[in-house]
Structure 1
Amino acid sequence: MKNEDKPIIAVVCGDIVGIGPEIVAKVIIEGPPDSCRLLIAEDAEVLRAAFDVLGARFDLPVFDNIEEAVKSDAPVTVLDLAQGNKDLLFLGHPDTETGELQAKALVKASLLAVDGWVDGVAYGPITKETLHIGDKHYVEEEDVLREVLKSPDLKGIGKLEGVYRYTMIEHVPMRELADLVTKERILKSIHALNEALLSYGLESPHIAVSALNPHAGDGGLIGHEEADEIAPAIEQAKAEGIDASGPVPGDTVYVRALQGEFDGVVSMYHDQALAAMKAAGFGKIVIILAHCPIVITTPSHGSAFNIAGKGIADHKNMLNAIEVAAGLAQRRKQAEK
């Protein structure tokens, strides 16, 4: 593929006092993917400091103008956000200032994609505890992006190998879960995952819907949600042309999916999905933000403050996120021709 035909992926480090700058630097040093061009949207001095930690020479072309940056034929360029981040580099110690800077960098990169300067975004780990812009605090970065991109249904879908995970209920207390398991919410989740998989190029994806209770309710002995809410939603999805199965017991649904039986899984709640996926492939899961106007991905791990600045962070999940973003962006470019 000619260099000018490759999608441009804007890369954001995430929280600059975590491992984000280091893993982005390692992706560059050890060879960025050939499938795309990278535009690092970050303070140049932050990236330079990460190169210093790794004992590598920083010789990337740096621009303060997006038009000049995207015209460059270099495989990796830096768009210097010049936010003064270098003075805040107390690695391993997040605070309100770095919390706001991580949000602003993500917003900047996302708007570059909205405006057509880049074809997608891959961002490093975000620290949710300090995430804010001005006086407005956010629970997660998806809240920032829903607001900025005007995409209220934006949601992260986890990808591990060839399996895609959609979590119906995310961050709520366990005692409230059962009341949120409704036919309407389940059906909406099935449709959302099916639409996402079709957009990723899967034809007639096979979707499993997990049960809520142990043993899928055991015929009503261990709960009634399977019979009253989950099964009816699956039947309606089938009637509407979706290849859906279930309710599948939560303790085996990902085993079966990873063995190739299902393309995607609708899980009822956060830990049901993430415990299984992380046990199967911790450090390999890529989060794709679906139902938004641009391609955005991120690795599934956190900022790892305990090892920040030590030069030992594994960059492979960040590389995976970039490669997935490049693939999705290339598919969109081809579809638009």
Structure 2
Amino acid sequence: MAVFTAVSLDDLTHWIEQFPLGKAIAIKGIASGIENSNFFITTERGEFVLTIFENLTFEQLPFYLQLMRHLAERGVLVPAPVANAQGELVVPLHGKPAAIVSKLDGTSQMQPQPLHCAAVGAMVAQMHLAARDFPLSQPNLRGLDWWTETTPKVLPFLSSDNAALLRAEMAFQHAFATGEAYARLARGPVHADLFRNNVMFDGDRLTGFFDFYFAGCDTWLFDLAVTVNDWCIVPETGVLDAARVRAMLDAYHAVRPFTADEAASWHAMLRAAALRFWLSRLYDFYLPREAEMLTPHDPSHFERILRERIATPAPGLFA
């Protein structure tokens, strides 16, 4: 992702000696994303991904890395964290927490078809079920509390029309989150950021999900809504593509059937997922942090999606 903390091959050479990966051969910064400093590294044992965490703390990180290990042990296709000689998954580098995980094969599928969406939907359901017995718990740090905290920070930058939209949607989401149906929704650890660039395919074969560093405990339906809002849309308009939506929902439902409360909450949850990323993009755009290779995402993309979700009924969870 964006590089906030530079790491040279010389830096890596000595630091990596604590891991069972052999000598460091090469390192290259990863330009996409805006949260952490990420690098592809090559060692005598293969290719890996090094992440230096710019916001998450040493205390928070075990949740993410242990979750990835838990899922991998249960057959979910995710990167495997690499422990050092002391069994630690998180170790300091340049005074910040850092971790190494295996590199997935394949490339991101940026023009998904229904078969890709079906593969993702089935794996999301498998991931949710596999994490049911995960012993650690941490809230979604970009959930409703964060939306409430962030809204007044970005409102001064918005047009009167967009400010009215944000205030109205926050009121809607607060009311939705206090409802009885919402309280009954199934929940547990979720990825919460499963965009197309966080999934790998080798041809039409799904090879894995990665970048779990927005994961937290939330409703499974929210996780699916985030995914649908990226995988199943016409990017220029935000309109949902019915064939891709149906493929993803049916594949998920075949693994983990939806409930009546989830069906009743689906439209509101699609709006919640759009709001979450509109807010985060507004924050990153108007209140950016300095970083090498940092290009904030355009907030208007999720503004369009949110307006479209409010205006147009979504395809139902059940065919």
- Same fold per superposition (TM over 0.5): no
Higher relative contact order (CA 8 A, sep 6+): 1
Larger Rg: 1
TM-score range, shorter chain: under 0.3
TM-score (norm 2): 0.25
TM-score (norm 1): 0.24
